Structures are given as C-alpha cells and as structure tokens.
Amino acid sequence: MLKSKVNLYEVYDNWRKDLRYFECYFKTTPIASLKQCEDFELEEVYPSNEIKNSVLALKDKLSYKKTIYIFDLPLLESIETALILNNDLGIKPVLVFNHISHDFGIVGSKIFISKLIQYSYELKELKDSTYAFMLDKDRYLETEFDKRIYYNNQYELTEEELPPVEILNDLGINRVVVISVDKLKEDLTDYVEYLKKENIFVEIINEPIGSKE
C-alpha cells in the first residue's frame, strides 16, 4: 500500500485509544508530519522474535503494581516493543517519539513509518492497564552530520514529554522502572534525578532488547 492511501487519523487514533490519564503525553508529530513526506510503498513488517523473546523475558519485572515503565530503546526496537507490550503483556504503550518525519531527517526511516502505521491496526484493546512510555534512544546524537544532506529533526525530552510527580502521586504511582540498552542520556537522567528527589522509587534495568551481539 502507498503511504498516501493511509488514513493518518486512524493511525493516530489507534495509538491514542486507552491512554486515559496519559493521553496528553502521546506525541503526534511523527504522524502529522507524514503528509509532507514523499509517497512510497509501505513494507509489510513483523515484530522480531528476538525482540519478543527479550521483552517476554522481563515479564516478572513488568508486573509491578502502582508502576509506570519507560523504555529507552532505538526507534525500531521501541516501536516493536510497544506492540509486544500491548498485545502480549497487556501494558499500554505511550509513544513519546517527537521527531518531525522528513525525507532526509536524521531521526526516523521508511521502515519505522511502515511499522508505525501497520502496528497501529494490530493493537488489542486494553482497559485499566499499566502504562509504558516509549522513547527513542537516538532522539539526539553526539556525532556531527552533513547539513547539506540531512535535515536536523533531533530533539530532547522536556517537561512536556514525561509526567510530573504530582500526576504520579494523584494516580497512586510510587515506582518508575526504566529499561534501557545503554547509559541514559542527560535529558532522561535529569528526569530520573527529579523523581528520586521527590521520593519516587526508580529502578533502572540495562537489558539488551533483541540481538545481544
């Protein structure tokens, strides 16, 4: 199917459903900006068995009560993990990808767009679920890029991307678990330190998702 044939509002609505208290943290920028990208044939995509096995191996850690989860993974792993969390573990993903989709963007890719669209139609309906905030580990990079070739659509997390302590307290959430494949970037570290200062228990799990090579 061509990208131009996709109802982007449906894609948005599929990911938005059942977010309840956290709907305001779902970022629509990658979806809304797709209209400005060149048309292309979407790929048929499937979640990786390696990623699925890695996520399911964390099942015990993903069963805490009064907890929210933050998955800080590379973009493709993050969108695949979102589908697996939703359909296999009953954990509702909140997509916090905030890049502008662009044909020459540093962040994002055509395969990500295919996954973002297709997986939105595969989500099972959830009610009263635990929530996981899905981040792109590569939302900004430390390396230089050729500005003549690439569009700089990198971004950092701000106070608008993740819930403040007041919201967590109102919802009775007293634990935040961060799953990351590497050292946390400065923006996420700042959020973690803020939570700790406000007496929210934070657990950080460094765990490869997918290939362990």
Buried b (16+ CB within 10 A) or exposed e, 111-150: ebbbbbbbbbeebeebeebbbbbbbbbbbbeeeeeeeeee
Written as six digits, the tokens of 152 are 């700089």
How many Å apart are CA 37 and CA 35, to the nearest integer? 6
The pLDDT score that the predictor gives to residue 207 is: 82
**pLDDT category, 31, cuts 50, 70, 90?**
very high
Say if residue 196's pLDDT is above 70. Answer: yes
Q: Which pTM value belongs to this model? A: 0.94
47 touches 77 (CB < 8 A): no
Domain positions in the chain are 26-36+49-206
Taking all residues of the chain, what is their mean pLDDT, rounded to a whole number? 93
Per-residue pLDDT tens over the stretch 104-154: 999 999 999 999 999 999 999 998 789 999 999 999 987 788 888 999 999
